Amino acid sequence: MATKTLEELFHETLKDIYYAERKILKALPKMARGAQDEKLKAAFLQHKEETEGQVERLQQVFEIIGKRPRAKTCAAIDGIVEEGEEIMEEFKGSPALDAGLLAAAQAVEHYEISRYGTLRTWAQQLGYKDAVKLLDETLAEESKTDEALTKLAETAVNAAAQKKAA
């Protein structure tokens, strides 16, 4: 059995996050339509625009490493997106819907932050300086989105869910 390299692992993980971002692009409009809070709807739509740029940056990383952009099914993101869809179904019209959608969105962000942090570190190790810059840019966006979602949860969405339920 041939020894697998860090470069191969980098490529496989890149395909994984490429799949994840494209899956998220499809899920965000549905989440925006399902959200009741206008700020949450806006956050989902804004992140959709950011995600389009992130997909383009991933395509550039594929070019840097001399590979064709290709996705590899990511069971983790499939599960997180499915969880969000279940929340939309089970809590439709409920005061807790937005809190659940926001939590699902943050699960996505945390997955992405983990992947981009890893990919950036491996790109540094492999000497892909241009890829490091692209991955770092996306990592910063994902972290900023996570912080914005946390603020929205703490200042509005969770309290609204609690207040309406009381």
Tell me the per-residue pLDDT of 97-150, one tens digit each, with 9 for 90 and over. 999 999 999 999 999 999 999 999 999 999 999 999 999 999 999 999 999 999
Q: Which helix (H) or strand (E) holds 32?
A: helix 6-34
Torsion (CA) 61, 64, 67, 72 in degrees, nearest 10: -20
pLDDT of residue 166: 57
User: Among 81, 72, 75, which residue's Cα sits nearest to residue 28?
Assistant: 81
Alpha-carbon span 14 to 40, nearest angstrom: 29
- DSSP state, residue 66: T
Q: Answer whether residue 164 shows pLDDT above 80.
A: no
Tell me the per-residue pLDDT of 40-94, one tens digit each, with 9 for 90 and over. 999 999 999 999 999 999 999 999 999 999 999 999 999 999 999 999 999 998 9
Tokens of 65: 């490493």
Alpha-carbon span 83 to 81, nearest angstrom: 5
User: Among 61, 32, 80, which residue's Cα sits nearest to residue 119?
Assistant: 61
Domains delineated in the chain: 6-165 (1.20.1260.10)
